[in-house]
Chain A
């Protein structure tokens, strides 16, 4: 029974570059959410997608964008990377009618 899978696990980028993070939800789950977790803090909500439509957006700049594909997988894109974007990016999925969020192991992004 596969959980939420994310790729890559680690990524090193330099300032100004662009990055794409990928997430595959638990089979049958139609909702995907993205969170940013800075070391020592709780996760911060970035986006939520349900049935391929954006349903929620957190307080992040327009450099952050996402999309959900017909198979319910998702990508998070971050343009013009800043040092402050260094964090663990977590993807979580849930079934449309259920309320429990299940997280992936995350992508650790380091911006140098």
Chain B
């Protein structure tokens, strides 16, 4: 089955710096890659996602890049703010045809701390 590795496990940055979190996946059939942010005691929230037919996607200060050949994808957060502090999870999934399948394989998570 699919295996997703996420690095680093912890990341500490100063406010205003950039943060990069990297994930690799094992199943070349995976074609959907979301990122979730989970604050302490709260639900995982989808912050950005990318499909395999796209190499990069941006949403304000957040961007995700995908390298299908190398089977890795990364989350980039620019101009970090203290409220960006949370646990970030990457995930991978195989989306078949027109049917929605719920199975996501998650990475182990990255604890991001942004110091004021």
Contact = CB atoms under 8 A, between A and B. Distances in A.
Interface residues of A, number: 32
A42 B6 CA distance: 10
B100 A50 contact: yes
Interface residues of B, number: 27
B69 interface: no
Contacts of B95: 99
Contacts of A41: 108-109
A56 B105 CA distance: 13
Interface of B: 4, 6, 32, 34, 36, 42-46, 49, 89, 91, 93, 95, 98-109
Interface of A: 3-4, 31-33, 35, 40-45, 48, 50, 55-56, 58, 90, 92, 94-106
